[in-house]
């Protein structure tokens, strides 16, 4: 499974402006944020639109997509504290906790039909570094997935209508193989690719032998390879399932590419929030 790491976290270190920036939200309550936060929001959404999250943000190809990963040095590395209530040096780590809170508040303000933005800390840590993953979920597509794959998701008590936060939390905390399969379904990979990945992983774990594979790439605006991609057996021939995913995604990408140039700032960044706002209001066809 591939999670894309981005460098947006540094923006938080420059939150020095007290000016408030208002972004209209189509008759709903306005988004109120500092200029740095507004810039961060556009950066996150542009990164998603330019990469495979496009196929969740304005398409229904992927039930879920990763937007950006943030790394914070908040994880416990002292085993003697595992039975204690006082674990984190709150005073020293407060800036990182506030940044997580800022992300949550920022994304909670968004109100696009059928989309839910989830801020989820990963269960495992890398030393003291904890990954806080920001993802976007298309709720109707998630419900359809939970129904279609109920033999898998049902074991966790996950059924259509489940809160995306609950779904992601259960899968994140699952056994390694179940976690990989669950994320495979959520990320919109076809069943045959998920089965291959799990079988190949099990073979490697048991024998140490790496299973040869080929990769099927669906282009994104950022590049034709390496973004929305999954592995197949080396002798696998693309099927109608792969073609359907490819051409449906290609159509979405072509429409986005045509619209994107109309939302460029002078520095070539994209007014991504405005683009999504216009898309969901019907101004972009």
Sequence-ordered list of residues with C-beta below 8 angstroms from that of 265, at least 6 positions apart, any chain: 271
Q: What is the pLDDT of residue 30?
A: 62
Measured CA to CA, the distance from residue 270 to residue 281 in angstroms comes to 18
- Of 210, 282, 269, 283, which Cα lies nearest the Cα of 11? 269
| pTM across the whole model | 0.87
Residue 32's pLDDT is 76
Which residues does the chain have with pLDDT short of 70?
1-30, 285
Query: What confidence score (pLDDT) does residue 103 get?
Result: 93
In the chain, what are the domain boundaries?
8-269
Model confidence over 241-270: pLDDT tens digits?
A: 999 999 999 999 999 999 999 999 999 999
């Amino acid at each position: 499974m591939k999670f894309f790491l981005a460098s947006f976290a540094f923006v938080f270190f420059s939150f020095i402006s007290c000016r408030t920036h208002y972004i209209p939200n189509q008759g709903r309550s306005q988004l109120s944020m500092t200029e740095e936060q507004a810039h961060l929001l556009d950066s996150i959404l542009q990164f998603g639109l330019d990469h495979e999250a496009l196929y969740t943000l304005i398409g229904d190809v992927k039930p879920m997509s990763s937007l950006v990963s943030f790394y914070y040095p908040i994880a416990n590395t002292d085993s003697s504290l595992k039975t204690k209530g006082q674990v984190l040096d709150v005073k020293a780590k407060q800036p990182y906790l506030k940044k997580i809170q800022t992300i949550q508040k920022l994304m909670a303000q968004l109100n696009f039909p059928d989309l839910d933005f989830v801020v989820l800390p990963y269960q495992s840590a890398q030393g003291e570094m904890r990954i806080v993953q920001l993802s976007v979920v298309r709720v109707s597509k998630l419900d359809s997935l939970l129904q279609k794959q109920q033999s898998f998701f049902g074991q966790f008590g996950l059924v259509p209508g489940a809160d995306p936060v609950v779904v992601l939390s259960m899968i994140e905390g699952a056994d390694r193989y179940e976690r990989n399969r669950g994320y495979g379904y959520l990320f919109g990979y076809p069943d045959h690719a998920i089965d291959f990945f799990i079988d190949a992983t099990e073979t490697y774990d048991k024998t140490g032998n790496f299973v040869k594979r080929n990769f099927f790439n669906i282009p994104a605006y950022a590049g034709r390879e390496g973004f929305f991609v999954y592995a197949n057996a080396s002798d696998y021939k693309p099927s109608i399932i792969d073609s359907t995913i490819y051409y449906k995604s290609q159509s979405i990408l072509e429409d986005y590419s045509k619209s994107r140039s109309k939302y460029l700032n002078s520095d070539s960044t994209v007014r991504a929030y405005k683009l999504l706002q216009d898309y969901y209001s019907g101004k972009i066809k």
